Amino acid sequence: MPTNQEPDPVRRETIDEQYDPEFRAGPRAPFIDWYVRRSALAREKMDCRLDIPYGATPPETLDVFPSRRPGSPVLMFIHGGYWRALSSKEFSFVASGLVPLGVTVAVMNYALCPQVTISEITRQSHAAVVWLMRNAERFSGDPGRIFVAGHSAGGQQVGMLLSAGEALRAAGGRSLKGGVAISGIFDLRPLQHSWLQPTLQLTDALCAEQSPALHIPGRAAPLLLSVGGDESPALIGQTQSYHAAWTAAGLDAAHFPQPGINHYEAVYGLDDPASLLTGAVMELICRCAREPDPS
């Protein structure tokens, strides 16, 4: 059941200010327009296979941008939008930085809240990864070198996937090789008291189940965390606390700060093969591709 406690108005205002990126970055429309323009250009210029079903429901599709090199690593990107907005089509641009460097990129689409719960989105992420493990070779990919990346709400999904290694191995027979979480939300509990609650319908049980910060795995593939320096203290703190929890558990976690960058811009670097963010992602991919599975 949803929480029965009405949030204190002052507390809600404080949480909204910390978790709504528009309080610091301004209206999101110009940034979303940038995503749309750059993504349209990526689809126009690059080989792409759009709207490939990975599951039974209409939103469960992948847009795949194959590498030209057979046996390439595969990175599945999960978009943000606080689980209730946007789609794979606004994030085709992430392939522009990685495909030229020999990575097959698959941009995941998923159903949105309130039509589904975050638990269902997590199920869809699992299904998409397992589908890629079974079908990567169709797109010049190596099924044994699957990576996941995500921005904002997509970062939460990356955390959930890395915490579910045993389930993924049982379903797909393979392990993820690594993860990248950019400006992720790893503890959902503050959002119960935010402007998002009517849409997300978070409960105490759902927050406990779907907060990666509450499910630090015993062993997992390496994780790269990044957050913009111009994001709110709460959003920066989410990444810092999650990084600290991983390292305290003896897990492989790196932190890539992005000074002077806001929440919406934190993913821009994936549009450019020469950016520092793409370089950090490629370093993770190259390093992890050579290492044995963490299981």
Amino acid at 67: S
The answer on pLDDT for 295 being more than 90 is no
Q: Residue 4: inside a domain, yes or no?
A: no
For residue 171, what pLDDT band results from cuts at 50, 70 and 90? confident
Closest listed residue to residue 192, CA positions, set 175, 177, 208: 208
For residue 8, what pLDDT band results from cuts at 50, 70 and 90? low
* Three-state SS annotation for 260-277: CCCCCHHHHHHHCCCCHH
Q: Residue 1: inside a domain, yes or no?
A: no
Q: Tell me what pLDDT residue 292 has.
A: 59
Alpha-carbon span 149 to 285, nearest angstrom: 11
Closest listed residue to residue 266, CA positions, set 254, 277, 253: 277
Q: Residue 92: inside a domain, yes or no?
A: yes
Domain that holds residue 139: 9-289
For residue 168, what pLDDT band results from cuts at 50, 70 and 90? confident
The answer on pLDDT for 2 being more than 50 is no
Q: Residue 294: inside a domain, yes or no?
A: no
pLDDT in tens, 74-98: 999 999 999 999 999 999 999 999 9
The answer on pLDDT for 101 being more than 90 is yes
Q: Tell me what pLDDT residue 235 has.
A: 98
For residue 29, what pLDDT band results from cuts at 50, 70 and 90? very high
Q: Residue 145: inside a domain, yes or no?
A: yes
Q: Residue 2: inside a domain, yes or no?
A: no
Residue pointed to by tokens 């999650």: 242
The answer on pLDDT for 5 being more than 80 is no
Q: Tell me what pLDDT residue 10 has.
A: 59
Q: Tell me what pLDDT residue 145 has.
A: 95
Report which DSSP code applies to 212.
G
Q: Residue 171: inside a domain, yes or no?
A: yes
Give the count of alpha carbons within 13 A of 114, CB side only.
Answer: 7
Q: Tell me what pLDDT residue 4 has.
A: 41
Number of structural domains (the chain) is: 1
- Which residues, 6 or more positions from 21, have their beta carbon under 8 angstroms from its beta carbon? 28, 231, 232, 235, 262, 263, 264
Percent of the chain's residues with pLDDT above 90: 89
Q: Tell me what pLDDT residue 3 has.
A: 43
Q: What is the CATH number of the domain that holds 37?
A: 3.40.50.1820
Residues 114-142: what's their mean pLDDT? Answer: 97
Q: Which helix (H) or strand (E) holds 107?
A: strand 104-108
pLDDT in tens, 41-50: 999 999 999 9
Q: How far is CA 115 from CA 59, 84, 110, 168, 169, in A?
A: 11, 9, 11, 25, 29
Q: Residue 79: inside a domain, yes or no?
A: yes
Residues 99-113: what's their mean pLDDT? Answer: 98
Between 209 and 295, the higher pLDDT residue: 209
Average pLDDT value over all residues in the chain: 94
Alpha-carbon span 271 to 98, nearest angstrom: 8
pLDDT in tens, 245-283: 999 999 999 999 999 999 999 999 999 999 999 999 999
Q: Tell me what pLDDT residue 9 has.
A: 67
Q: Tell me what pLDDT residue 7 has.
A: 54
Closest listed residue to residue 82, CA positions, set 63, 58, 110: 110
Residues 177-183: what's their mean pLDDT? Answer: 98
pTM assigned to the model: 0.94
Q: How far is CA 7 from CA 11, 14, 189, 190, 193, in A?
A: 7, 11, 12, 11, 6
Residue pointed to by tokens 């709207």: 51
Closest listed residue to residue 56, CA positions, set 125, 127, 108: 127
Q: Tell me what pLDDT residue 11 has.
A: 80
